[in-house]
Structure 1
């Protein structure tokens, strides 16, 4: 068996890396606090690096590390690793997303309790010799309603612990199924409903374009006075300016923050506010969590180097050159189908059915499935989703998926179809790659279409009538949006129809509002492809 060399660049739990230290085929060097220049001198000798948050793994380090196969982050965030450079050089980046679950859950409860009983301020006064019992009147958690945005492992853990305090749980998560909510004794709600009914709020989502500022001015405009807020997830989920206004204006009665939009934070207004409790990003800072994350990455390094088994990759290794060239366009169209599908639906699916017809069905289609799923999940779960971890993350969201293969494809040499299902809606997308024309989406629900995936797409469900397309064109022209191509799908004159537009520019909110008022337009969906 080949010998491997591992370089540990940041302090990690020695018990956590014991499997590597004791392994006869691994030479482990623990050398912390090195500068980039010092790392560059020896990094070419190593097959794997282990870091926490102190060391920045730059493109130059990755380029010099000619034998490097794995970079392991003993924790969750990978902001200190150049992911693009690692992917470019075929280096797998892994993290340990589950190791800090208990620690983050318990820290959330600690922050909530500190906030409700004013513990930090009371401690400070008493330590300074002030006995001020009347100045620190707390709030009971018993009988109160806790709103949770994001019900993954940490969110569920917080719900369970809060229930033991006698709290009622209301929650939003796009992937929270009715069965899972019922089992956990959680009432599903939309974010604006949570704002209106919660006494306490905690957030446990990744920071994505969909979650950035999800608790902002609009949210605070709906809350009842006295709301207490906790964030042990990611800075930016809560709009700090809006939070400060809510605290000063009485819409919020307190906040406990472990994470910030800028770290370390430089704006001290929020940190010094009398109704705010703060800690310096300590959610994962326990002895047990640090040991768990070190154990997790140690075991996965061994699995990757010896068995090519990957579970927690946050980047996608380069596609093998051995993959059939004819399959590559279908990987692209699968990815675009995932992007289109999730944006056309009002809520994420609880079930996915993927069908591969024609010669395509003979090949290994797992890459197509992973491409579809990763693109579908990214809007809600963030850029860490990729073809390596897509199915693992899909399973975590309790989404069922099925793959069906058939040898014949009527009308096409190869045909892909995706059916996305939730309790309120079903969406069917069909696609193919046409000789001389490239990728095409050829079916949306009952309509036959011919859509080339482009950056900006607009889909309009409407009643077919004379002049309606002209009104649409005038509206888009007024807002300086150019139509690159247009497809109309319909069955009967004057009946329901689907208009599909490829646009050179995105449509702003004002234009979308004007389009929605055109008589006969029943629904509009704008889709932006990466």
Structure 2
């Protein structure tokens, strides 16, 4: 099996590059390549993985030539330089490293809060200039002040913890913050308007999305407490910079400390040189420890995925740990095979896919299993579909996906049953994984069977009459097609019957035509499965 190959197109530590090599991944370290779009586009097709920082732009145009690419990983939190929808459609997993620089970014926010409260940058410049303006720089204490934290996730949570240690009163606005988590952090959960009205300091720690863009708009800035001080180490675009300047000029906002800007690199900004504004050039993650941590993390994550299938910190794919990947591997294969079976049987547009998980499989990572089912269904008509692109394609087609869990309810310890709905019919197939780790079909159209899954199969439906076994066997024999396994099932004596043949080779269309010409079958369908 060929070793996976990774391109590192931005600066990453040598230790991280060595991790790839030690794990058995071939790596090309070209740290300046991200700045050369044309050269990167010429060679990207040779790689399974791409490790980047902020210089490399992963655009739809670049992805168009990346037919081998499986994963893009950003050493850092922000992935503004990656077209995630385009990557998803291409079937490329996008990862980041959200925890490697969390402490560093949180500490920078706290540092800016101190600098703002005590006017340290201005005082530093004045003192270096030989002035002794002791009475000019009258600061405020952080002790007992109210800090409003917008976004109490990973970084925001660390800021909360540090602020509580400074004996500040911390209030937090975060729709995803539970009361239990708020209690653990020692903060009070509030709505945004209450935070704006009460906070002496406001610090932003949310991603930039349609919902959070300009969360500190002109309107919301007007709702803040007079004399408030604002810190942003998260993302430019979270506040209206022009409105903030007006609020500073009017004296409503006492000061602001910004590490990020709407347009970066920020070489010219409406807030620059304002006496009550502290600015730094996006230094939130800029410590030796953080840069090393995210580099090592990205190397480990990419290696894990390319070598074991484990998915960590993905933005367009359910996370799957290495332990889950080992246990779930056969079940993911089964889910894909069931989806593929149904997909190959259907030429009509799919309206809905309903997935039932019974027994111990219902306790597994269902989002990952769901994607395998969806990919199996859609890949039957589009071979470029994979686990990553399948949900996007299903959404584009308007396919409704539903999932049901239930306790063990039958003969098997666990099974998956998939029902596909079209305008004219419903089709269902169920399967399980036996103790030998091999997936098997156990029910088709409500008829119980026990069928091993092979790369080449033939599915037939017919009335339950004598002679079918002989007819199938003789026809395969005359055409030199060997039968590895032959499974039969029927709903009742003399009623609907099915046969599923596991063959050593794909059956020729002429053989299918011969069987159809006998008039003994309602359906004769060759099937193909991706079996390792």
Tell me the TM-score normalised to structure 1 length: 0.62
Match of 2:221 in 1: 220
Q: Output the CA distance in 1 between the equivalents of 2:173 and 2:404.
A: 29
8 Å Cα contact 2:352-2:422 kept in structure 1: no
Match of 1:292 in 2: 293
Q: Output the CA distance in 2 between the equivalents of 1:37 and 1:387.
A: 26
CA gap 1:195/1:387 in 2 versus in 1, 3 angstroms: farther
Match of 2:141 in 1: 140
- 1:241 deviation in Å? 2.4
Match of 2:274 in 1: 273
Match of 1:3 in 2: 3
Residue-by-residue CA offset, 1:448-477 (whole Å, 9 max, x unaligned)? xxxxxxxxxxxxxxxxxxxxxxxxxxxxxx
Match of 1:305 in 2: 306
Q: Output the CA distance in 1 between the equivalents of 2:100 and 2:60.
A: 27
CA gap 1:161/1:332 in 2 versus in 1, 3 angstroms: farther
Match of 2:151 in 1: 150
- 1:149 deviation in Å? 1.0
Structure 1: runs of 5 or more not aligned? 336-354, 372-385, 391-401, 409-431, 439-530
- 1:333 deviation in Å? 6.5
Residue 17 (structure 2) pairs with residue 17 (structure 1): yes
1:217-366 equivalent positions in 2, closer than 5 A:
217-265=218-266, 268-316=269-317, 323-324=339-340, 366=366
- 1:162 deviation in Å? 0.9
CA gap 1:200/1:332 in 2 versus in 1, 3 angstroms: farther
Aligned positions, number: 368
8 Å Cα contact 1:331-1:368 kept in structure 2: no
Tell me the TM-score normalised to structure 2 length: 0.62
Q: Secondary structure, in 3 states, of the residue corresponding to 1:283?
A: coil
8 Å Cα contact 2:118-2:140 kept in structure 1: yes
Structure 2: runs of 5 or more not aligned? 319-334, 372-386, 392-402, 410-419, 427-532
8 Å Cα contact 1:201-1:230 kept in structure 2: yes
Q: Output the CA distance in 2 between the equivalents of 1:331 and 1:113.
A: 58
Q: Secondary structure, in 3 states, of the residue corresponding to 1:270?
A: coil
Q: Secondary structure, in 3 states, of the residue corresponding to 2:135?
A: helix
- 1:435 deviation in Å? 4.3
Match of 1:55 in 2: 56
Q: Output the CA distance in 1 between the equivalents of 2:421 and 2:369.
A: 16
- 1:190 deviation in Å? 0.8
8 Å Cα contact 1:258-1:281 kept in structure 2: yes
Residue 216 (structure 2) pairs with residue 200 (structure 1): no
Q: Secondary structure, in 3 states, of the residue corresponding to 2:54?
A: coil
8 Å Cα contact 1:331-1:367 kept in structure 2: no
8 Å Cα contact 1:357-1:407 kept in structure 2: no
CA gap 1:69/1:165 in 2 versus in 1, 3 angstroms: same
CA gap 1:236/1:40 in 2 versus in 1, 3 angstroms: closer
Q: Output the CA distance in 2 between the equivalents of 1:22 and 1:404.
A: 41
8 Å Cα contact 1:235-1:259 kept in structure 2: yes
Residue 67 (structure 2) pairs with residue 29 (structure 1): no
Which shifted more, 118-127 or 43-52? 43-52
Q: Output the CA distance in 2 between the equivalents of 1:209 and 1:331.
A: 31
CA gap 1:27/1:237 in 2 versus in 1, 3 angstroms: same
Q: Output the CA distance in 1 between the equivalents of 2:119 and 2:353.
A: 53
Q: Output the CA distance in 2 between the equivalents of 1:224 and 1:331.
A: 54
8 Å Cα contact 1:356-1:406 kept in structure 2: no
CA gap 1:32/1:218 in 2 versus in 1, 3 angstroms: same
- 1:157 deviation in Å? 0.5
Q: Output the CA distance in 1 between the equivalents of 2:367 and 2:86.
A: 22
Residue 204 (structure 2) pairs with residue 188 (structure 1): no
* RMSD of aligned Cα (Å): 3.8
Residue-by-residue CA offset, 1:209-254 (whole Å, 9 max, x unaligned)? 2222222233222222110110111112222222122212222100
Q: Secondary structure, in 3 states, of the residue corresponding to 2:171?
A: strand
